[in-house]
Amino acid sequence: MNAVPQFDPLAFGENALKLRAYRHEVLGSNLTNADTPGYKARDIDFSTALKHELMQQNHADTMPMTTTSQGHYQFNSSIQNQPTLLYRVPNQPSMDGNTVDPDVELSEFTKNALMTQASITFLTGTIKSRLSAISGQVS
């Protein structure tokens, strides 16, 4: 029988925040290069990247660890594999080959910021409910 993977809200929240931060960097780079001749706007497919990241998640090393001795192992808490950067299809390419549409990029940047805030709210709620269960206090 195939085991159905359990949904882990903490792993989901952690990976969603990491990917949102990475997407913010990509979109910010697009905005920064809006006037660079030949620059091609990039983006990631967030839902595919999140699914891939959750499938690759090694739950043993998701907690950030501090090393206090040179003999301790370093654990990397960043994105396991960088998502594939895709080229954005331009609505109207410019004469200099730049495919950045500042309105599209700013819209995507704003949506990503809102979704980041939603992810933080979700993760905060998950942590609060677990703390409440541990302490036995109802908030």
pLDDT average, residue stretch 90-103 = 91
pLDDT average, residue stretch 63-70 = 63
Is the torsion defined by CA of 8, 9, 13, 16 positive or negative? positive
- Give CA–CA dist 70/80, Å, rounded: 24
Give the model's pLDDT for residue 78. 56
Bridge partners for 43 per DSSP? 86
- Give CA–CA dist 72/66, Å, rounded: 9
Q: Is residue 55's pLDDT more than 70?
A: yes
How high is the mean pLDDT of the chain? Answer: 84
Contact 52, 15 (CB under 8 A): no
- Give CA–CA dist 59/15, Å, rounded: 12
**What pLDDT digit, counting tens, does each position of 9-42 carry?**
888 899 999 999 999 999 999 999 999 999 999 9
Please give the residue that has the higher pLDDT: either 70 or 104.
104
Q: Is residue 106's pLDDT more than 50?
A: yes
Any idea where the domains of the chain sit in the sequence? 9-58+81-89+97-135
